[in-house]
Amino acid sequence: MAYNFDKFEEYCENLLNAQYGVSEVIEHKLTRGEIREDFLCDVIRDGFVDPPNLQRGIVAINGSRVHRQIDLMLCREAARRAPIRSSRFSMIEAQDIKLIIEVKSNATFTDIKNFNQLARQVKNIGLPHPPQCGMFCYNLRPKMDTVFRRFGFSFDQDSVQFADDTDRPTIYPHLDFLISIDTKEHLPTGLTSQYTIIKNNDTGRYYRSTQFPTIKNLFTIIQQALQQH
């Protein structure tokens, strides 16, 4: 029997979408969100030989909190934590975090705006290696073409793709990536709503990743963060 990573990652993405649907039976929104975050953590950890140190909790700068709650924080090996509620809910100093991920079931532009503000705050405190900041969305309420426009894209009719438009400003310049695993078709273009938008740090512009399944991008981003000092 042949094995390949694409099929494993396709399985992971399908599993996340299935769990997202099944978990709708949980009426308490906070509990439902935490169950989804825990499940995403388990999927990520299963994809690595040495499971990444993922925490949920609060980012701190010099011991003071800067945000009410972070969904996922990828911590450095020697990171310290102030346990708050459980083994995976902690206060972590910003310099001990490699990656901050906001997880959203139905993301809005307000959610993206607020997270962009947090990313700006964390990245502007003078750390030599500030955390990457990105969003993982099961789906987004705004239309796909509107999302792409706000990240500096225009739709190219010839290639039937969204392309970087340098005449269009980026509205959320502090986000390093935005991932959507939404399975709905974008009717105006016929394109899948499963996509990853990644920031090019050299240009400050964004590009759409060609890696599929979409979850492959999350594994790649986490692996690259783990390999950094």
Angle at 16 between CA 137 and CA 161, to 5 degrees: 50
Angle at 193 between CA 192 and CA 196, to 5 degrees: 105
Rounded to the nearest integer, the mean pLDDT of the chain is: 91
| 1, pLDDT greater than 60 | no
Q: What is the pLDDT of residue 119?
A: 94
Beta bridge partners of 50: none
Angstrom distances, CA of residue 194 to CA of 87, 144, 177: 32, 10, 14
- The model's pLDDT over 33-59, given as tens digits with 9 standing for 90+, comes to 999 999 999 999 999 999 999 999 999
